[in-house]
Amino acid sequence: MRIIAIDGPAGSGKSTVARALAVYLGLDYLDTGAMYRCVTFAAMRRGIDPADADVVARIVGDIVMEIGLQAATVDGVDATIEIRGTEVSRAVSVVASNPVVRAEMVRRQREWVGSHGGGVVEGRDIGSVVFPDAELKVYLTADPEVRAERRSKEVSDLDYETVAVDIARRDALDQSRETSPLVVAGDAFVVDTSSLSVEEIVAIIARALDD
Ligand code: DC
């Protein structure tokens, strides 16, 4: 079973590269960040404060999510737009720092890979925690200015400064949380994507897979 882990901070190019790599390799693609976003959305929709760790822990097992390439549904409701919105983006780090939420997401991620016969899995802890035996663990990185620039192009209603501040805040939270912080796995293949095109990055990863 082929499992390729793609980790890295926001704006490092993970999603675009992981999707392109999955097509190139003929594997399915899983966006685990979307899973944490769906949990955040589900909590808000139920009127739960995402920061209330105990209550979120109690409901996480009941949340039904379907994450496709184009759309996401949570408990049968279309959440495609909302999970990328400002509210969810602000609250998702605290939800992702909840150990009960993480344990449940990791369980679902392993189940997904089992039922899909492998895959390209994108996140923050995929190579370090979820699939430590992945065939290749890629860690994508890029200069903070480049990452903020990319994100502000994606979210058209926010300006560069707002996005830069938000990315810095999320980086800090993701790197400092106790459970599975964003770290570079010791045996990760690190690619700085600051000045590379998607095609170049995919080619670099494909070469690493052949070696
Ligand atoms: O990649 P993203 O911006 O959609 O991720 C959303 C949040 O979820 C972000 O704060 C990091 C967190 N996350 C995580 O903790 N572990 C993962 N495997 C994926 C995302």
Q: Which residues line ligand 1 (CB under 6 A)?
A: 10, 32-33, 36-37, 92-93, 96, 123-126, 170, 174
Ranges 35-44, 64-73, 102-111, 143-152: which has the least confidence = 143-152
In a domain, 211, yes or no: no
Q: What is the pLDDT of residue 166?
A: 86
> Is the pLDDT score of 55 beyond 90?
yes
> Is the pLDDT score of 185 beyond 90?
no
pLDDT over 90, % of the chain: 78
Q: What is the pLDDT of residue 158?
A: 78
Q: What is the largest CA-CA distance in the chain?
A: 50
In a domain, 174, yes or no: yes
CB 29 within 8 A of CB 22: yes
pLDDT tens, residue by residue, 4-34: 999 999 889 999 999 999 999 999 999 999 9
Report, as an integer, the average pLDDT of 127-155.
92
Alpha carbon nearest to ligand 1 atom 1, residue: 33
CB 178 within 8 A of CB 97: yes
Which parts of the chain fold into alpha helices (H)? 14-25, 32-45, 53-59, 86-96, 99-116, 144-154, 160-176, 198-210
Return d(Cα 163, Cα 147) in angstroms, integer. 9
Domains contained in the chain, number: 1
pLDDT over 70, % of the chain: 99
Confidence of residue 151 (pLDDT cuts 50, 70, 90): confident
Q: How many CB atoms lie within 10 A of CB 80?
A: 14
* Buried-state track 118-141, b at ≥16 Cβ within 10 A, e below 16: bbbbbbbbbbbbbbeebebbbbbb
Confidence of residue 152 (pLDDT cuts 50, 70, 90): confident
Report the separation in Å between the CA atom of 121 and the middle of ligand 1, taken as the mean of its atom positions. Answer: 12
CB 144 within 8 A of CB 168: yes
CB 27 within 8 A of CB 2: yes
Q: What is the pLDDT of residue 171?
A: 87
In a domain, 136, yes or no: yes
Return the CATH number at 59.
3.40.50.300
> Is the pLDDT score of 62 beyond 80?
yes
pLDDT tens, residue by residue, 82-95: 999 989 988 999 99
- Mean pLDDT in the chain? 94
Report, as an integer, the average pLDDT of 188-201.
96
| CA of 14, closest atom in ligand 1 | 1
CB 53 within 8 A of CB 91: no
C-alpha angle with apex 105: 104 to 108, nearest 5 degrees?
90
Report, as an integer, the average pLDDT of 173-190.
88
Return d(Cα 64, Cα 133) in angstroms, integer. 28
Handedness of CA 13, 83, 174, 160 (dihedral sign): positive
In a domain, 169, yes or no: yes
Q: Which domain holds residue 177?
A: 2-206
Report the separation in Å between the CA atom of 92 and the middle of ligand 1, taken as the mean of its atom positions. Answer: 7
